[in-house]
Amino acid sequence: MGRSCATLSQEADGSLLLSVEGEDVSALRAAVNSYLRIIMIAEEMQEVLK
């Protein structure tokens, strides 16, 4: 298993909650940066497909 993990859940109001955990600050920072990059790419792709 890796040094970090993430879970995604949908809240009652329809929003998404991303929870990221890391074994240490470096692992947490790397995981947060990766997931934020993925979210930015998904948003950009939505704009392209409109």
Q: For residue range 1-46, list pLDDT tens digits in order.
A: 689 999 999 999 999 999 999 999 999 999 999 999 999 999 999 9
Domain that holds residue 10: 4-49
Q: How many domains does the chain have?
A: 1
* Predicted local distance difference test score (pLDDT) of residue 50: 87
- Taken as a whole, the chain contains a residue count of 50
Distances (CA, A) of 30 to 25, 33, 47: 9, 5, 26
The model carries a pTM of 0.78
Beta bridge partners of 16: 10
**Is it the case that residue 48 has pLDDT exceeding 70?**
yes
Contact 10, 16 (CB under 8 A): yes
Largest CA distance in the chain: 40
Q: Per DSSP, what are the bridge partners of residue 22?
A: 4
Q: What is the pLDDT of residue 3?
A: 94
